[in-house]
Structure 1
């Protein structure tokens, strides 16, 4: 019976084009980044960054409003959904858009313009509309949005990289290097990896919490001292996450506050056996390998950690600047043996229209399903 089923399984995989999760990537071309996650949904994003030379790009040397960004987001696969999205921290209309001083020609019926919470967003999702939009931008120097700009240096390279990662080069679905290859030649989107479901964490009794904290502090004294987590004043210590949480019947999560900067703090993370078998160990927190030298592990010291007891989700949130216009965030869950990455966002260059609005580099099946039910 088992042998008879195997050919059917292989046939199913061939017909559906099921694929393994891809390696996430993050690349920068000029003023543009291009991030592709583990299912090859890619986001190209352009905005004014700190080292951009834009001092003489506006008429009459008017001040430049940097709270604007343009992005192109596309799902993998032959029929992958595509969106062009222009966002600004001020009101604007189609008549306010120019490329190197020339009015941008857009079909009003093909675009949606909305303002919410002080952010105005222009969005287009029809493939032919996005293709025409890219064609108007690709040879330009800058996109002007009233007194704001989006530099266009690097746009074509970023979009070409997107076409390449999604297997669209020389095909009819490509945005930059088009050709005659049919849409059916584009590889299917990779499968989402499974991840642990949400579950309420175990509440530790006060006595057990104190025992686990003391045990960890004693056995990991060298690491705690190395990270200067043992010499905090009371004021600083009260601002940091130092706590114990039950992961399951056998293990607990221990956080020791370590340092506090102007707008964020760090904590050491340990996994501790509740039964007494074994020793407290620094947590292993998986993360995508983005550059040569990455270990695939965030290490045991994290920034702005938080543990959601209602879902058993452990998170961090690192801000590259106070308003979070760059940084990284992760979500993990315990599977009974180790932490599993659920989601990651990342943006290296600081800028754009919204704080904390960073490209997704990793997502999971459970995380997507829970988002739909929120």
Structure 2
């Protein structure tokens, strides 16, 4: 099965940022988790750091620290609690520092989310460098944000954005000017062009056409990646679906695998005669619509985490258009935040 991989393309041993600096290559996204914290940095240079309550804590809370690349960028912060715990709670949270109540953060009662101002963000950053959980409260209810792992992921963010030792570092500030930190890159654009929506064709997974296709497709994948076309242990409702892309191409969708909480379809770009495989896009997606392929896989934890990947037709092939993952849901169904490592702007073209 396809797994999210965050790799450095210019060689093992060089950091992601060094690759960008030395080869003027596009920034490659990166994900890192340590204890109760995780960080995801995307291909524009923006990093998002998320922290949660410790495992043994039942009161669900998370914060998101976000910073774009560039010398003048500032750190922003948001807090979120489980909205179902808001019954009878004021629509604000009070931040505590060293056990003493500080300022209030307004909370949206529907989402459980609030935005910290610049002063509160600095207070939070200082508290995260301590050894005790960061306390939040409203009425008689209390939430404890873990600090375990915070320094590690904040340092990873600074390393990614080339800030360590500079005057703009989140941690380990220095006197070096920030003019050489990682610069923000423009979000890539994917233009869905030369796409002509048409009537899809559906085949029985046991039909002659389907079995002929399996012979071709087995050459493209391993049995462990798409076991269903090797074993042909399909379910009654399974179908082979061909989606027209344009006059020359179609997209083939075939069930590849099933697990306890997920399933994955394979998507192959082929000619309209089903004779030539032009591209294997993925074996772990779920749907196709309007020139885009979507994958949404759940992970198992205290709640269901999501791993999301999307591809878009650019006129000649399907290209990666979005990738995000959340590993530490910590009670937030689907995850508290979107933590992308690859982002683009998708536009409908001609």
TM range (shorter): 0.7 to 0.9
2:68 is aligned, of 72, 75, 86, to 75
2:241 equivalent in structure 1: 243
Question: Residue 313 of structure 1: CA displacement?
Answer: 0.9
1:136 equivalent in structure 2: 127
2:333, 2:305 → 1: CA distance?
A: 10
Structure with the higher helix share, 1 or 2: 1
Q: TM-score under structure 2 normalisation?
A: 0.75
Question: Residue 347 of structure 1: CA displacement?
Answer: 2.0
Give matches, 1:204-243, under 5 Å.
204=199, 206=201, 215-220=212-217, 227-229=227-229, 230-234=232-236, 237-238=237-238, 242-243=240-241
SS at match of 1:133: helix
2:261 equivalent in structure 1: 263
Question: Residue 362 of structure 1: CA displacement?
Answer: 0.5
Taking a change above 3 Å as real, the CA distance of residues 205 and 133 of structure 1, as seen in their structure-2 partners, is closer
2:312 equivalent in structure 1: 333
1:47 equivalent in structure 2: 52
2:100 is aligned, of 92, 98, 103, to 103
1:164 aligns with 2:159: yes
Gaps of 5+ in 2: 1-23
1:159, 1:186 → 2: CA distance?
A: 15
2:255, 2:325 → 1: CA distance?
A: 24
Q: Contact 1:41–1:73 (CA<8 Å) still a contact in 2?
A: yes
1:120, 1:164 → 2: CA distance?
A: 31
1:358 aligns with 2:349: no
Taking a change above 3 Å as real, the CA distance of residues 247 and 213 of structure 1, as seen in their structure-2 partners, is farther
1:344 equivalent in structure 2: 323
Question: CA offsets, 1:117-159, max 9 Å, x none?
Answer: xx31121253x54223211232132123434432111112211
2:78 is aligned, of 77, 85, 102, to 85
1:29, 1:224 → 2: CA distance?
A: 33
SS at match of 1:228: helix
2:67, 2:169 → 1: CA distance?
A: 11
Taking a change above 3 Å as real, the CA distance of residues 205 and 167 of structure 1, as seen in their structure-2 partners, is closer
Q: Contact 1:259–1:266 (CA<8 Å) still a contact in 2?
A: yes
Deviates more, 1:77-86 or 1:212-221: 212-221
Count of residues in correspondence between the two structures: 308
Give matches, 1:182-331, under 5 Å.
182-197=177-192, 201-204=196-199, 206=201, 215-220=212-217, 227-229=227-229, 230-234=232-236, 237-238=237-238, 242-275=240-273, 279-280=276-277, 283-284=280-281, 300-303=282-285, 305-309=286-290, 312-321=291-300, 325-331=304-310
Gaps of 5+ in 1: 1-18, 55-63, 285-299
2:18 equivalent in structure 1: none
2:240, 2:133 → 1: CA distance?
A: 48
Alpha-carbon RMSD across the aligned residues, in angstroms, is 3.3
Q: Contact 1:48–1:351 (CA<8 Å) still a contact in 2?
A: yes
Q: Contact 1:142–1:149 (CA<8 Å) still a contact in 2?
A: yes
2:201, 2:180 → 1: CA distance?
A: 60
1:149 aligns with 2:129: no
Taking a change above 3 Å as real, the CA distance of residues 259 and 29 of structure 1, as seen in their structure-2 partners, is closer
SS at match of 2:155: helix
Question: Residue 224 of structure 1: CA displacement?
Answer: 9.4
Q: Contact 1:65–1:147 (CA<8 Å) still a contact in 2?
A: no
2:200, 2:163 → 1: CA distance?
A: 56
1:81, 1:354 → 2: CA distance?
A: 29
1:352, 1:74 → 2: CA distance?
A: 25
Question: Residue 302 of structure 1: CA displacement?
Answer: 0.6
2:168, 2:35 → 1: CA distance?
A: 24
Q: Contact 1:137–1:143 (CA<8 Å) still a contact in 2?
A: yes
